[in-house]
Amino acid sequence: MGMIFRLVELLLVLVPLAGAIYAAVRGISAVSRRQGETRTEPVVEPIRRDGPKSQAAQWRTITRVLDEHSRTDSRWLDYELDAAKLLDFPVMTDMRDPSTVAFHRAKLRADLLRPAKAEDLLDDPAAARHYLDAVEAYVTAFNAAETEAVRRRRGDFSREEQQRVARAQSLLRVASDRGATPQEREHAYDLACGELDGLIVLPDRTRGALERGIAGELDD
């Protein structure tokens, strides 16, 4: 009897253990099978449920930055096409000033990276990131240069130089005045250039706009 009880006790211990071992073996087999399936199945990029939403957000960001680029260009154009305003804030064209150099460099980079249309950046995340960063740097640099120009105005010039700039400013107003005769406009422009010689270099677009305006009147 004692031997039978010992056998029963042994079975009570071995049966649950065997079940646990069997379950463990089946679990390991299942894991191995899944790993094998993972290795043999081709890798497929899962479809993102938020794909359209993300693309829409990206589109809004790109178009917003393009608009900001255009607005900053327009702010600079206000100086380029208004010689009198430009002479109020000569630092904006002073390429000896670090803030001005930084602004013009940032503008050049943003212009070079600007896409022909917003769609061009939708499928090129790297290009989009470079462009967004470039516009941010451009806007920041322009704001810094303009702030510095407003702060300093003509303060870097001596009293005599400031008087020359003021005379040039008045002369350029005459050169831009459609009510003046063509000869008066041309003469005023020549005198203004003489006053600014050695002080301020007008941007090419500023000079070109003035000269085209005067030439247009003279051709009438």
The span from the CA of 73 to the CA of 142, in Å, is 10
pLDDT at 133: 97
User: Which region holds residue 185: left if phi is over 0, alpha if psi is between -120 and 50, else beta?
Assistant: alpha
Measured in degrees and rounded to the nearest 5, phi and psi for residue 131 equal -70, -45
What confidence score (pLDDT) does residue 215 get?
A: 80
| pLDDT value at residue 75 | 96
pLDDT at 178: 86
pLDDT, averaged in runs of 10, over the chain (220 residues):
38 44 47 44 35 76 96 95 91 92 97 94 92 97 96 93 95 90 92 94 90 68
Residues ≥6 apart with Cβ < 8 Å to 72 = 107, 135, 138, 139, 142
Dihedral angle of Cα 105, 70, 152, 87, to the nearest 10 degrees: 100
User: How far is Cα 69 from Cα 114, in angstroms, rounded to an integer?
Assistant: 9
Q: Are 170 and 184 in contact (CB under 8 A)?
A: no
Contact criterion met (CB below 8 Å) for 134 and 106: yes
Rounded CA-CA distance 101/67 in Å is 23
